[in-house]
A and B are shown apart, each in its own frame.
Chain A
């Protein structure tokens, strides 16, 4: 049941990315390109996605997940360097190629060689992240 729910969730995510056109880097870069031909599609995707999620967060109140366990704890509110530096690096990469992790995975079957190279580089970047993150944590602790 747990696996079926995961698969369905991934399937809906993939279908949504496919239909919204978010696997097209031109649409994503079009949203970021305020000095070029600006394309607002991504804002509709984000807005459309936030609506059912906001409802879902409301439904978590006083309940437990369907297959047991517990809901994620309330989010931390402090803004640390990891959040800021990581988001800047992500944003630069996102702007360069127009791909973020979800659409990159969703377009794997039809993205061609470039898509596979992107995923390979993405995985290497992910492998390199833990030592970087620890260094940032140590730097924060010493100041």
Chain B
């Protein structure tokens, strides 16, 4: 029996708890693209330290987990550099234009019954599913 969904649920509750801490503590919405993007385009200059502290937590805790209790997790990321670059550019551009990604629109938006968050989530899941269907099953490229 596949128990991945239990770990998914546990991990999900922790992700949501992180979002709850950020909201109730600092009064901010936990969106990975917004927190990172504000540092990149300068729009988050006045609270850059807060953003950096958040990112430090996101990087360091998995690093410590990997070095201590867990085995090296496999990311299964494609070795095709062209695909990685194209995907990175699209994700960076798209999440900033849409003002949110899976954490911002998906987790923080849907949980407050935001229509924009729900619509964005439906659109990027459909776009992702269609992309995979075409690139994997029709063209056999990824």
A residues contacting B by CB (< 8 A) are: 2-27, 29, 32-36, 39-57, 59-60, 63-72, 75-79, 82-102, 104-112, 114-115, 117-130, 132-133, 136
Contacts and interface: CB of A to CB of B under 8 A. Distances in A.
Q: Is the interface of B mostly helix, strand, loop or mixed?
A: helix
A122 B88 contact: yes
Most buried by A among B50, B55, B62: B62
A115 B99 CA distance: 23
A11 B7 contact: no
Contacts of A4: 53
A7 B57 contact: yes
15 contacts: A10-B18, A13-B57, A17-B11, A20-B9, A44-B5, A44-B6, A56-B20, A77-B116, A89-B98, A90-B94, A90-B127, A98-B77, A124-B92, A125-B96, A136-B97
A4 B54 CA distance: 9
Contacts of A68: 27
Nearest to B105: A87
A111 B18 CA distance: 22
